Structure 1
Amino acid sequence: MSIVSEPEEIVPPPAPAAPVAPATPNAWKGLAVRLHFYAGLFAAPFILVAAVTGALYALAPQLESWVYADQLTTSSTGSELPLATQVDAALATNPGGTLDAVRTAPEPGTTTRVLFNRDDLGESERWTVFVDPVTAEVKGEMATYGGSGALPLRTTVSQLHRNLMLGEPGRIYSEMAASWMWFVALGGLVLWVARWRAKRKRRIADLVRPEPGVKGRRRLVGRHGAVGVWLLAGMLFLSATGLTWSTYAGANISTIRSNLGWTTPKLETGAPSGGGHDGHGAAAPAEPPPAVSSATFDSVLGTARRAGIDAGALEIATPASAGALWTVTEIKTSLPTEADKISVDASTGTVVDTVRFDDWPLMAKLTTWTIAGHMGTLFGIANQLLLLAFAIGLIAVILLGYRMWWLRRPTKGGVPSPLAPRGQFRKLSQPVGFAVVLAAVVVGWFAPLFGISLVAFLAFDAWRGHRAVTRAAARAAAS
C-alpha cells in the first residue's frame, strides 16, 4: 500500500520592512517647493486683496487733497487770528459733543481744525470743524479718523485695507496677509536662487531679470521670480510693519516692545489710568473734564512756543478729566520728524513735563518711521509712488503665480506633474527636520494665524494624500 504524504505547507517569507528613505541633499528644496506652492495657492488671495487695497490707499492722500480742497485750504492771506476767535467760530456752528483739541494750521493757505468728541461717532473718530485762520470763516465740518486726521474718503480706503469694512473680524484677512507675505517672499527667493545655481553659466544679472529667449511656462517662471526679487525688501518690510497693527501677532509685538523698553515715553498728563487723549474712544473718566475757555488755547500755545515746541503742525488737547493737564504735541511724522510733546498747567502757565523725540529709544523712533513709511507719509509723494509701484508689482507676481499653477493644474483623466511630490519632509535628516518643526512652532506662537493656517494646509495635504491612496487601492481592487 502506497502512502501519499500530505504536501508541506509553504510558508511565505516575511515581508521586508518598509525601507526608510534616506536623507537626500535636495529634500529641503522639495519641501520649499511644496510649502511655497501651498502658501501661494491659499495665502496669496489674502495678499492680493491687501495689495489692491494698498494701492488705493497709496493714492488716498492725493485724492483726499483734491476732493476736500475746500475744507483743507484757503486763499486768504494775512496774519492769523487768535485761536480763541477760531475756536469760537467753530463753537458757533453747534457741532455737538465736547471740545477736545485744536490742530493749528500747519502752513499758510491751510485751515485750522477744531475737534470735538461726540457719542455718535465710531472708535478713534472726532468731529472736526475746519476754520480759516485768517478770517475765522468755517470752511466745513465732518468726521475725521485717528492720529493722522484722515477724512472720510481716506478713512474708507484705510478701513477697506485694514478689515474689508467688516470691523474687528475682518482684521483676520489683513493679519493673514502680513503673516504669510514674508514666508512666501523668502520661500520664493530660496527657489529662485536654487534655480540660478543649477545653471551652467551663472551671471549675477540673471538673478534680477527674466530668462531671455524662452517661451511658455518658463517665461512665466522667469518673470515671476525676477519681479519677486525686486519686491523682496518691500514684502519683508510691509509684512513686519503690518503685523504691528494686527490683533494677535500685534499683541505679542507690543509685549516684546514693552519688556525691552522700546515703547514711546509717556507724558505726565495728570489724568487717571484709562484717560488721556491717546485712545479717543476709551472709557470716559470718572470725573468729567472741566469747562474749557477758548482763550486758554492761546495761553497754552504761548507756553509751548516758549518751551521750544516750534513745529507748524501741532495738536493742543484739552484736559481729559478734572485735575488733568493740557497737552501740546507736534504731529509731523514725516522726515524730519517733529514729535516733541509737553503737558501744561494752564492755571499757572507752567510746563509740567516734556518728552523730546530726540530722547526716544531708537526702536521707538524706528517704529514711528516704519509705520509712516507703511502709510506713505514718511517722505511725501515719493513714498506714495513707491508704495503704488510695489502694489502693482505684487499684483503682477501673484497673477503670474496663479497662471503658472493653471498650466500645471490636474485635468480630467490626466495626472498632475508636481515639482515636488508628497513626503519631502520625511526625506530630511533628523536634525534638519527637528529644526524645521521647532521654527514652525516658534513662528506659530508669535503669529498665531500663521501657525493655525499652516496646520490647516498640512492637514489638507494629508487628507488629499490619503484620498489619493484610497482611490488608487479601490481602482486596483476593481481591476
Structure 2
Amino acid sequence: MTTTAAPSRTSFAWRGLFLRLHFYAGVLVGPFILIAALTGVLYALTPQLESWVYSDQLRVPASSQQLPLSKQVDAALATSPQGSLVAVRPAPEPGATTRVLFSEKGLGESERRAVFVDPGTGRVTGDLVVYGSSGVLPLRTTLDQLHRNLMLGEPGRLYSELAASWLWVVALGGLVLWISRARNSKRIKTHGLIGVWVLAGALFLSATGLTWSAYAGENVAMLRTAVGWSTPKLTMPGAGESHGDHGSSSSSAGGHSEIDTVLGVAKLSGIDAKAVEVSLPAESGGAWKVAEIEKGLPSQGDAVAVHGGEVVGSLKFADFPLGAKLTRWGIDAHMGVLFGWPNQLLLLLVGGGLVASVVLGYRMWWKRRPTSGFGRPTPRGQWRKAPPGALVGLGLATLLVGWFVPLLGISLVAFLAVDVLLGRRAKTTTS
C-alpha cells in the first residue's frame, strides 16, 4: 500500500502564503481579468463579422482591368472629403476595394477617414473611419477600445493594465497550488485543472498585454532599448513631421500624381506583399514611403523611401533585432491575426478558459466563505512560517517586479493593507 508523505511545515507555510495571495488577487482582480478575457475573445472573432457587416464598402465585382492608382485617388478626391490626403492602400486582391486615407480634424488618435474605391471602375463605395496600423473598421475599433480602456479613454487603461499585471501572478500561483494539491490529494478541482490548461496562453497574453500598457509598457520599451531590441525606423530623407491637419483635400489634389511611379519603383525594389500602404511625403519635396502591411507568417514588414523615381532608403524585416521580431509576432498573435483562423481559435479557447476559471474561482470562494460553514479560510500570518532567508529573497524580487510593473506593486501594497486592517478588525471584535 502506497502512502502519501505529509507535507513539511515549511512547504505548508509556502502553500498558505500562495493561497492567500491567490485568493486576494482572484477576488479583487478577477473582475478585470474576466472583462479583459470576454472583450478580447469578441475582438479576436470579429474579422469575419466585420467583412460581412461592411461588405458594401470592402467588396466589389472582380475585374481583370484596374484603373491607375492615381485615377482611383482622383475618384476619392471627387467626393470632397474634409481633410488632407495622407496615404493609399491599393486593393490587395481581386474583388477588394482600394482605401484612400485622409487625416481629418475631430478624429481620435490613430484614426483616419478611408474612402473606398472600386479599382476597376473608380466608383466610390463608401467611407468609414479606420483605426490603427491594421486599419480596423468601426465595429472592431469599438471592441478594441472596450478591451483596452472600457471606452473611458486614457484613465480606463488602468483596468486592462491591472488585469495584465496580475494575470501571470494568478496563473503561476495557481500552478503552484495545483501541484501541491495534486501531490497530497486525489481531488483535483476543475478550477485548477482549467487554469493549468490555459497557463501558457495566460502568460503570453499577460506579457504581450503589458507591452501596450501605460506604465509597465514604458519600462518594457526602456528595457528593449537598453538591450538593442527596439524596432528600427525607416529613414525618410527630406521628411519633416508626420502628416497632420495642415491642408485640405483640394491642396492635396495634385500631390498624388506620381503615386503610380512610386509604387512601381517600390515593387521593383522588393516590396512584394499583397497589402501595402503608400504614404505621401510629409512636406513638399520629401520622400514617399511604401510599406508592407501584411500580418501573419511569414511576416512581410519591409518598407522603402522613394524620392525622385528611386529608392533612397530601405528597411528589411529580416534585419530587425530578434526582440523587435518577437514583439511584432507577439502583438499580431495577441490580436488574432498571426496564424489566421487557428490563431482566433486558440484565443477563443484561452479566453473561454480564463472566463470559466474566474467564474469557478468565485464559486469556490462563495462556498468557502466564513459564513457558509464549509471549510475555513487560510489563517493570516503565513509569511512568519517561511524561512527568513527565502522570505528576504522573495521580498526583494517582489520589490523589483513591483517597480517594473507599477500597478502590480501598488495594488499588492493595497492588498496587504486590507489584510492587516481586516486582521485588526477581527481581533477587536473577538476581544
Same fold (TM > 0.5) = yes
Larger radius of gyration: 1
Residue 407 of structure 1: aligned partner = 367
Residue 308 of structure 1: aligned partner = 270
Q: CA–CA distance in 2 between the matches of 1:272 and 1:350?
A: 16
Residue 427 of structure 2: aligned partner = 469
Kept in 2: contact 1:264–1:360 (CA 8 A): yes
* % same residue: 58
**Matching residue's letter, 1:126:** R
* 1:166 is aligned to 2:152: yes
- For 2:115, which of 129, 153, 169 is the aligned residue? 129
**Matching residue's letter, 1:269:** M
* 1:256 is aligned to 2:223: yes
CA pair 376-271 structure 1, distance change in 2 beyond 3 A: farther
How many angstroms does 1:100 deviate by? 0.3
Q: CA–CA distance in 2 between the matches of 1:113 and 1:25?
A: 61
Residue 103 of structure 1: aligned partner = 89
- For 2:384, which of 410, 414, 426 is the aligned residue? 426
Q: CA–CA distance in 2 between the matches of 1:354 and 1:399?
A: 50
**Matching residue's letter, 1:390:** V
Kept in 1: contact 2:288–2:305 (CA 8 A): yes
Q: CA–CA distance in 2 between the matches of 1:325 and 1:156?
A: 34
**Matching residue's letter, 1:433:** L
Secondary structure of 1:196's aligned partner:
helix
How many angstroms does 1:267 deviate by? 0.8
Q: CA–CA distance in 2 between the matches of 1:439 and 1:350?
A: 53
Residue 330 of structure 1: aligned partner = 292
Secondary structure of 1:26's aligned partner:
helix
Q: CA–CA distance in 1 between the matches of 2:303 and 2:242?
A: 14
- For 1:152, which of 138, 148, 159 is the aligned residue? 138
Residue 208 of structure 1: aligned partner = none
For residues 216-250 of structure 1, give each alpha carbon's deviation from its aligned partner in whole angstroms, at most 9, with x where no partner exists.
xx6xx621111111100000000000000000000
Q: CA–CA distance in 2 between the matches of 1:61 and 1:112?
A: 18
Residue 338 of structure 2: aligned partner = 378
* 1:457 is aligned to 2:415: yes
Kept in 2: contact 1:83–1:295 (CA 8 A): no
Kept in 1: contact 2:368–2:374 (CA 8 A): no
How many angstroms does 1:272 deviate by? 6.0
For residues 154-196 of structure 1, give each alpha carbon's deviation from its aligned partner in whole angstroms, at most 9, with x where no partner exists.
0000000000000000000000000000000000000001111
Kept in 1: contact 2:89–2:277 (CA 8 A): yes
CA pair 292-253 structure 1, distance change in 2 beyond 3 A: farther
How many angstroms does 1:322 deviate by? 3.5
How many angstroms does 1:56 deviate by? 0.9
Residue 325 of structure 2: aligned partner = 365
Residue 4 of structure 2: aligned partner = none
Kept in 2: contact 1:290–1:321 (CA 8 A): no
How many angstroms does 1:393 deviate by? 1.3
**Matching residue's letter, 2:319:** D
- For 2:358, which of 382, 398, 401 is the aligned residue? 398
Residue 224 of structure 1: aligned partner = 191
How many angstroms does 1:458 deviate by? 0.4
Secondary structure of 1:385's aligned partner:
helix
Cα RMSD (Å) of the superposition?
1.9
* 1:440 is aligned to 2:398: yes
* 1:247 is aligned to 2:233: no
Secondary structure of 1:70's aligned partner:
helix
**Matching residue's letter, 1:339:** G
Q: CA–CA distance in 2 between the matches of 1:188 and 1:58?
A: 26
**Matching residue's letter, 2:387:** S
**Matching residue's letter, 2:13:** A
Residue 276 of structure 1: aligned partner = 242
Q: CA–CA distance in 2 between the matches of 1:78 and 1:294?
A: 24
Moved over 6 A (4+): none
For residues 426-449 of structure 1, give each alpha carbon's deviation from its aligned partner in whole angstroms, at most 9, with x where no partner exists.
111111110111111011100100
For residues 108-133 of structure 1, give each alpha carbon's deviation from its aligned partner in whole angstroms, at most 9, with x where no partner exists.
11110000001121110000000111
Secondary structure of 2:295's aligned partner:
coil
How many angstroms does 1:284 deviate by? 6.9
Secondary structure of 2:156's aligned partner:
helix
* 1:36 is aligned to 2:22: yes
Q: Which moved more, 1:320-329 or 1:263-272?
A: 263-272
- For 1:298, which of 243, 256, 260 is the aligned residue? 260
Taking structure 2 as the reference length, what is the TM-score of the superposition? 0.94
Kept in 1: contact 2:237–2:312 (CA 8 A): no
Residue 15 of structure 1: aligned partner = none
* 1:48 is aligned to 2:54: no
- For 1:235, which of 195, 202, 219 is the aligned residue? 202
Q: CA–CA distance in 2 between the matches of 1:435 and 1:469?
A: 30
CA pair 25-191 structure 1, distance change in 2 beyond 3 A: closer
Secondary structure of 1:48's aligned partner:
helix
Q: CA–CA distance in 1 between the matches of 2:320 and 2:69?
A: 30
Q: CA–CA distance in 1 between the matches of 2:219 and 2:238?
A: 27
Q: CA–CA distance in 2 between the matches of 1:112 and 1:394?
A: 39
Q: CA–CA distance in 2 between the matches of 1:359 and 1:371?
A: 19
Taking structure 1 as the reference length, what is the TM-score of the superposition? 0.85
CA pair 363-87 structure 1, distance change in 2 beyond 3 A: same
Q: CA–CA distance in 2 between the matches of 1:371 and 1:365?
A: 10
For residues 366-422 of structure 1, give each alpha carbon's deviation from its aligned partner in whole angstroms, at most 9, with x where no partner exists.
11111000000001111112111211111111100000000011228x69711x210
Residue 14 of structure 1: aligned partner = none
Secondary structure of 1:127's aligned partner:
strand
- For 1:61, which of 47, 72, 85 is the aligned residue? 47
CA pair 104-425 structure 1, distance change in 2 beyond 3 A: same
How many angstroms does 1:358 deviate by? 0.8
Q: CA–CA distance in 1 between the matches of 2:427 and 2:56?
A: 68
Q: CA–CA distance in 1 between the matches of 2:116 and 2:275?
A: 15
Q: CA–CA distance in 2 between the matches of 1:191 and 1:292?
A: 67
- For 2:12, which of 16, 19, 26 is the aligned residue? 26
Secondary structure of 2:352's aligned partner:
helix
